[in-house]
Structure 1
Amino acid sequence: MRELVYYVAVSIDGYIAGPDGEFDAFLFEGDHAGFITAELPDAIPTHIADQLGIAQRRERFDTVLMGAGTYSVGLPDAPSPYRHLDQYLFTHRAIAPQDNLTVTAEDPAHLVRELKAREGADIWLCGGRNLAAQLAGEIDRLVLKRNPVVFGAGIPLFAPGTYAPAQWDRVRAVAFDSGVVLEEYVRRQE
């Protein structure tokens, strides 16, 4: 069965962006970059992968979920960020049609359960905090690219919500000289 994977860059103090939504303090270059590119090429924006000659075979992810804030980074001038994936954008806003983009105001948890039942690769929860909070009970795996930066305030990994606490088991941690640590957790089965 497909998994819902919340893969995201995060600061040491648990923020996916700073107070004004900035994420430029996260490290994009360093000894971690090649490893992450090899492990998760489907999580690279389509236009960047095209420029770098990175093949995106939809082996790890074939679907991406985003909230309006995550989707709008770089827009309106840039095309839809993950055209190589089936994209689902959860918003009530009017959004111009784009390749492989489904805009929906549907309950995210309901849609994720439908997607999990279909054949295919894993489903990537790209962001952000509100969507992560709404899908907290559906997330099967956390893949955190923990960066050696402290924001002190900002956009948390999960928005405060009414979701139940969950236990996670770490299945992998890879530390790099850059200070980035790639951590992977699976939901503990009760």
Structure 2
Amino acid sequence: MRKLVYYIATTVDGFIAGPDGADPTGPGGFWPIPEDYLRHLIAEYPETLPGPARQAFGIDGEGARFDTMLEGRHTYEIGLKAGLTDAYPHLRHLVFSRTMRESPDPAVELVSTDPVATARELKRHDGKDIWVIGGGALAGALYDEIDQLIVKLAPLTIGTGIPLFGREAVFAPRTWNLVSHTVLDSGAIFLTYDRSA
């Protein structure tokens, strides 16, 4: 069965964005993107790069890990503000929103129903794994359904911001098994955890 994978960058103090939720890697952002980090993304997770970045680096074809992505409206709107109606045209792209009435792009599927039911249905079908891109609120809603965490831990603290599972996450302790890790010279660490049984 396909896995639901929360693949996300976080600070050492557990935040995926600043308090305003803006793109921390965009213009004026605070997130470091060292060269070895970018090389690792291209080599190991090329499908998680947005379409324009893939073009710039000459990346094409299907991804190795994911063929579908789930995104919350706030995260999707970051791409819209940058002029991208579908930042990931190489993936099936579902955006969860109860307020958007029409998709700005014919390839982007708007979902207004329960994300848990949608994730469960997607996991039943054959295919590559399903990437939960964020934001934290969507990841928090899908907390019980997430099978794997791939955490890109930045050597960075910010003090406050959007937590890994959003501001509305419930208290529900869970253990995870570390199945792989990569430490880069720049200090970033890629940690892959499978949910404990």
Q: Same fold (TM over 0.5)?
A: yes
Higher alpha-carbon deviation: 23-32 or 64-73: 23-32
Secondary structure of the residue aligned to 1:70 is helix
* Structure 1 match to 2:113: 106
Q: Does 1:57 align with 2:62?
A: yes
CA contact (8 A) 1:49 1:56 kept: no
Q: CA deviation at 1:177?
A: 1.2
The one-character-per-residue Cα deviations of 1:7-49 (angstroms, maximum 9, x if unpaired) are 0110010000011224122222321221221111110111210
Change (3 A) 1:151 1:188: same
Which of 174, 180, 187 lines up with 1:179 in the alignment?
187
Task: Tell me, yes or no, if the aligned pair for 2:181 and 2:191 is still in contact at 8 Å.
Answer: yes
Task: Structure 1 unaligned segments of length 5 or more: list them.
Answer: none
Q: Measured at CA, do residues 111 and 45 of structure 1 come closer, stay the same or move farther in structure 2, by a change above 3 Å?
A: same
1 CA distance for matches of 2:20 and 2:11?
Answer: 15
The aligned counterpart of 1:119 is 126
- Matches of residues 108-187 of structure 1 in structure 2 within 5 Å? 108-159=115-166, 160-162=168-170, 164-187=172-195
Percent of aligned positions with the same letter in both sequences?
A: 39
Worse-matched range after superposition: 64-73 or 22-31: 22-31
What stretches of structure 1 move > 3 A for 4+ residues in a row? none
Counterpart for residue 89 of structure 1? 95
Q: How many residues align?
A: 189
The alignment's TM-score, normalised by the length of structure 2, stands at 0.90
Give the letter aligned to residue 86 of structure 2: S
Amino acid at match of 2:9: A
- Greater Cα offset, 90-99 or 12-21: 90-99
Contact 1:70–1:128 under 8 Å retained in 2: yes
